[in-house]
Amino acid sequence: MKKGFYLLTIAMLLLGYTLAFAGETGAKLSRESIIEKIQKEGVIRVGMATFVPWAMKDKQGQLIGFEIDVARKLAQDMGVKIEFIPTAWSGIIPALLTGKFDVIIGGMGITPERNLKVNFTMPYDYSGMSMVAHQNKAAGFSSIEDFNKPEVIIAVRMGTTAEQAAKKFMPLAQFKLFENESQALQELNLGRVHAVVSSAPMPAFHALKYPDKLFVPLKENFTQEPIGFAIQKGDFDALNYFDNWILNMHSQGFLKERKAYWFESKEWEPLVN
């Protein structure tokens, strides 16, 4: 009888601790959700970096692009204002983790390495790596193998999946790393590198802009990767909301329509310098 009483007492204590822990954990998750924070403050802060045509500035200095449309539609559906926070790509994940902004919506490829640091939503888009090359320095080049040589110099934006892909597929080449894409493209235009590796369709657009000196050596993208929003780990409410929002945007055709405008047409080109 005495033993049974002790066992019952221990069981009740364990149950109490379990319920208390669950309640505390639930309250903590609720308090920390950026969804509640965004609604309370009336603004969503979005971390991003400039990638043509994902995000760029028009002639008036205003941000435009595929990612900008996606983020603005998200803010509209949440009933809040939006604040874009341009951030150097190499430091964008650390900036998210320190709370500089609520979410990264910036054409970020979902990779296992990044997923160790942040949580990703379901993909809202897919991208792939391509390259634009200098006609003189890369004359006759038409395959990855042509660029995978010690004498070849490739420019790429540091901290991107473009850098990872370039080093994986062309490990023998030399690499020049730049903080932003415009610097890498300038090196190419000046003929100081053989090619620039970047997410499609930027290489094709840049080649069309300078047809007398540049070309696209590969017929198809040499990688394909899913693109998602990135948020801090542990915020399951935010992950659930963003996933369902993306699912709705897929089903409504919004993402497909904006992708066609920015990636398959040239209607927007007069808007930029």
Residue 31 in domain: no
For residues 108 and 156, state if they share a domain.
no
Per-residue model confidence (pLDDT) at position 213: 95
- From the list 262, 273, 249, the residue with the least C-alpha distance to 199 is 262
For residues 67 and 47, state if they share a domain.
yes
Sequence-distant (6+) residues with CB within 8 A of 58 are: 64, 271, 272
For residues 110 and 233, state if they share a domain.
yes
Average pLDDT, the chain: 88
For residues 120 and 133, state if they share a domain.
no
Q: Residue type for 43, please?
A: V
**For residue 200, is pLDDT > 90?**
no
Tell me what the mean pLDDT of segment 169-183 comes to: 94
Tell me what the mean pLDDT of segment 163-181 comes to: 94
- From the list 54, 44, 46, 236, the residue with the least C-alpha distance to 161 is 54
Residue 6 in domain: no
For residues 205 and 83, state if they share a domain.
no
Per-residue model confidence (pLDDT) at position 202: 86
Q: What span, in angstroms and rounded, lies between the C-alpha atoms of 24 and 200?
A: 46
Per-residue model confidence (pLDDT) at position 30: 45
For residues 80 and 120, state if they share a domain.
yes
Per-residue model confidence (pLDDT) at position 14: 52
Residue 90 in domain: yes
- Compare 161 and 195 and report the one with higher pLDDT: 195
Count of structural domains, the chain: 2
Residue 260 in domain: yes
Residue 243 in domain: yes
Residue 9 in domain: no
Residue 20 in domain: no
Per-residue model confidence (pLDDT) at position 181: 87
pLDDT in tens, 48-62: 998 888 999 999 999
Percent share of the chain, pLDDT over 70: 88
- Compare 160 and 120 and report the one with higher pLDDT: 120
pLDDT in tens, 210-248: 999 999 999 888 888 899 999 999 999 999 999 999 999
For residues 107 and 231, state if they share a domain.
yes
Per-residue model confidence (pLDDT) at position 32: 67
Domain holding 101, by residue range, is 38-126+225-271
pLDDT in tens, 1-45: 444 544 444 444 455 545 444 444 444 444 568 999 999 999 999
For residues 120 and 242, state if they share a domain.
yes
**For residue 47, is pLDDT > 70?**
yes
Dihedral, CA of residue 201, residue 202, residue 204 and residue 206, to nearest 10: 160
Per-residue model confidence (pLDDT) at position 105: 97
For residues 186 and 205, state if they share a domain.
yes
**For residue 259, is pLDDT > 70?**
yes
For residues 110 and 146, state if they share a domain.
no
Q: How far is CA 113 from CA 156, 175, 256, 263, in A?
A: 19, 21, 28, 27
For residues 181 and 152, state if they share a domain.
yes
Percent share of the chain, pLDDT over 90: 70
What's the pTM value of the predicted model, to 2 decimals? Answer: 0.73
For residues 45 and 113, state if they share a domain.
yes
pLDDT in tens, 62-106: 999 999 999 999 999 999 999 999 998 889 999 999 999 999 999
Residue 5 in domain: no
The enclosing domain of 146 has a CATH number of 3.40.190.10
